[in-house]
Structure 1
């Protein structure tokens, strides 16, 4: 079987984003069209009881303007925080500084060596996302000393904003963040300390996404655990108390349900297409191989673990499910006790004496496996591995006596080799994420209420975008990958148009809370997809 992906193409060819004549936003706030003729006196705008003279935005990649898998200058210009600052300038808002990247390629260097890759753009000709051409030119050793008004640090979790040395090059990569390294006012500075150095009179605080997102994007494999509630509560309380200590007003946002994002909803659980010439002809052989294993599952009283590929419809991938009882030893024992198993092994050109080795391998590989169901979420990056040969596993199988051809056949990701936990969010892992998100959001809502701050329920808003879509001016926006207009090509961060909508929602809530009359922007003036 070739090292070629076998999943169904999930990117819709049409790039047009649906439109509607309904120009109403969820929050009824006006926007001024660029270059629109002025009729009557020039409008004036009020800050109400707020003071926008020193606006500071604190958060992570969402605040920084990160999109399409990278931070780049063009993306920073359309961060929701910069859009808000531009609107605040109409009512007394002051300068809003950002730690701009050196280019529009994105990515980072350390001493000339690339440590983060470039952004993605959409290749219209081939209908696929690709990496932008060019090389990163932003080296974190070239310190662009802050503090800045945009204190969004990609990758930061809640407690990172309190950590001294988070911007120290000597602490990188173990305990420092490369983006904060290049923008910190000093090596021992904290993010919140640098934010306070700007003397904020008004602020936005949107942090906490990464406290659950890292666990989700790693498929819940344990490499990036969810922040414990005590740590989160302490961090959030300290951040809010600190940033309001000088009397600043502001807006605080909660954590969206990360599994609403296209990073988790784009790759189907059943992507294996029988019409694919690299997969379809293999189906009878595969079903014959798994037929032996399915008999073992039936004998063990676990028929639900059976693996079968359809010749007429798309089939589900095979996954490792850590929540299942491990029956590796039982599979090996049943196969070794079967008088027919040595004959089965000989079909593959192996001697009958290899039967115990093959039984052990089958038990080890399929002791906690099943085919995926509609309740499983495959992460976007799994599309790069499904149907490809895992060369490391192939090499190992050859050390166990399998021929290169046979080893390759048993090392196909999602087909003969179960997808690792990092590629799939199981229902149990989704429940963990939902529980943590609800707990964290309760803390955020309480802090907003206790400190009389404007509050943006991003969770509810993005649930609505994902479930019913959102009318943004003349553009109808959804959570669909590529065509939805809300999310960028990394499937997690907003597109420029998504950032415009977020800015509008925040502006509406700020106006309602503080009596200001800040106008919103026209979302259609911002692209929903970069193609260059």
Structure 2
């Protein structure tokens, strides 16, 4: 009888949670009752939910995922994730996540020691779906419809969903099977991220009407088939990540060449633009680019710049900039002496973003976030991840910065791939979700001390650079061939 009464109370209470959380007239529930909402937590999303770091997924990363942090803070002891044994699974099939080689100072990845990624799944026999159902590479379409690697082209679907064990069900359907009382849902980033990582392929962006249709269907499924309290996050500007903006530091004017608007220029080992004539007006040598006036040079260009001199002008290019042949020859010799390779080969268009491309990508994010705001309608709390990343990049958060690890290894919130957070970055995200949960449910779930995760990469030694293969690894999973939706 007591069990029946408890379930009846719980059912009524969860119905009340579906009311608009901003409605001052909604019933005020006690803290003890609200704690019941924390009794079964399920996380839905993409790589950001899975705990993906440094171009891959591994147990060490997953134990620092934001859902795992949240589960710890709400004292949910049996939060199950698809734990991946060392060395982990990289986003490029057959590769490990990125790692650091102290001998060379380079970020790199290795070949995977197994042919089937599922062989690294430590708790593959769990007789129920995982509580963290975040799948690296998931977008709205595949969250709603994807069940396996065969129908998505993404091996992580087999690792996380383990179909046909659960009836060839989707991420959303497996969440419903768990009968959750609390859901975090963060999805949509991969509906635009590929456009940024590919250097402006706008075909990577999901049409906004399709975005609205699919997100609406996901929310309808979750709200009609569970009584869970749902918390969402919106989409950050995917151009505000180190993979895109790390090399903004190499932009400079060149008064001696009459260039008054900052452009990417030849730079040294410290990423500082090199003035080849400091006693005069300032002679900064522009890098060669296929696209005129790019506003961002993407991170892979750094590897090619160091390895082969991509973008570094040769004598002919310098003469074309208006320099006398003798001066051009002297500059080339100076660059060679500094360890550069004046290749004369321009940086290709897929490694830069123009202002038009940047604007289109940011507009897509704005449109997607408007859809999220409309569909949640105040009934589902939304954490403003877009604003949070903006603050991280301008003034910092909790002492963390949005800089790439090469520029700020002590304080960066990003992992080695320049796209995904590191341990501290995920702690910041977890705290943001916890604050939303506390405000909506009048709870006092403690937040994490993010200081304990600082300096994740300091013990490894000085990071000097990253290989071409490593820096491009993350693109494999997130830059896709567009298929019929």
Seen in structure 2, the aligned counterparts of structure 1 residues 425 and 478 have a Cα distance that, compared at 3 Å, is same
2:68 alignment partner, one of 66, 82, 99: 82
What TM-score do the two structures reach when normalised by structure 2?
0.69
Is the partner of 2:44 in helix, strand or coil? strand
Contact 1:53 1:94 in 2 (8 A): no
1:479 alignment partner, one of 393, 402, 405: 402
What residue number does 2:160 align with? 183
1:513 alignment partner, one of 427, 440, 449: 440
What residue number does 1:101 align with? 84
Greater relative CO, 1 or 2 (CA 8 Å, sep 6+):
1
1:272 alignment partner, one of 266, 271, 275: 266
Residues 141-200 of structure 1, C-alpha deviation per residue, up to 9 Å, x if partnerless? 54736621101110111111011xx343444xxx33211112224243211111211111
2:134 alignment partner, one of 152, 171, 195: 152
What residue number does 2:374 align with? 446
Residues 100-147 of structure 1, C-alpha deviation per residue, up to 9 Å, x if partnerless? 112144437xxxxx8242223445676x44236684548235473662
Seen in structure 2, the aligned counterparts of structure 1 residues 445 and 170 have a Cα distance that, compared at 3 Å, is closer
1:384 aligns with 2:303: yes
Is the partner of 1:259 in helix, strand or coil? coil
Is the partner of 2:183 in helix, strand or coil? strand
Contact 1:97 1:149 in 2 (8 A): yes
2:392 alignment partner, one of 465, 468, 478: 465
Is the partner of 2:220 in helix, strand or coil? helix
Q: Could you tell me how far 1:256 is from its partner in structure 2? A: 0.4
For structure 2, the 5+ residue unaligned runs are 1-30, 252-263, 311-339, 461-485
1:207 aligns with 2:187: yes
After TM superposition, list the pairs within 5 Å mapping 1:51-66 onto structure 2: 51-66=37-52
Alpha-carbon distance in 2 for matches of 1:423, 1:413: 19
Seen in structure 2, the aligned counterparts of structure 1 residues 468 and 179 have a Cα distance that, compared at 3 Å, is same
Is the partner of 1:318 in helix, strand or coil? coil
1:244 aligns with 2:214: no
Alpha-carbon distance in 2 for matches of 1:94, 1:250: 20
Q: Could you tell me how far 1:511 is from its partner in structure 2? A: 0.2
Alpha-carbon distance in 1 for matches of 2:341, 2:174: 46
Contact 2:195 2:201 in 1 (8 A): yes
Seen in structure 2, the aligned counterparts of structure 1 residues 86 and 228 have a Cα distance that, compared at 3 Å, is same
What residue number does 1:117 align with? 95
Contact 1:271 1:317 in 2 (8 A): yes
After TM superposition, list the pairs within 5 Å mapping 1:129-528 onto structure 2: 129-131=106-108, 135-137=112-114, 139-142=116-119, 144=124, 147-163=129-145, 166-171=146-151, 175-187=152-164, 188-221=168-201, 225-245=204-224, 246-267=226-247, 268-269=250-251, 270-273=264-267, 313-321=283-291, 370=292, 372=293, 376-386=295-305, 416-450=344-378, 452-471=379-398, 476-482=399-405, 483=408, 484-528=411-455
Contact 2:94 2:112 in 1 (8 A): no
What residue number does 1:69 align with? 55
Over alpha carbons, which structure has the higher Rg? Answer: 1
RMSD, aligned α-carbons: 3.3
Contact 1:167 1:177 in 2 (8 A): no
Residues 311-345 of structure 1, C-alpha deviation per residue, up to 9 Å, x if partnerless? 96442222222xxxxxxxxxxxxxxxxxxxxxxxx
Residues 487-526 of structure 1, C-alpha deviation per residue, up to 9 Å, x if partnerless? 1111111110111111111101110011111111111222
What residue number does 2:258 align with? none
Residues 394-433 of structure 1, C-alpha deviation per residue, up to 9 Å, x if partnerless? xxxxxxxxxxxxxxxxxx9996332222100111110011
Q: Could you tell me how far 1:468 is from its partner in structure 2? A: 1.1
For these two proteins, the number of residue pairs brought into alignment is 369
Is the partner of 2:57 in helix, strand or coil? coil
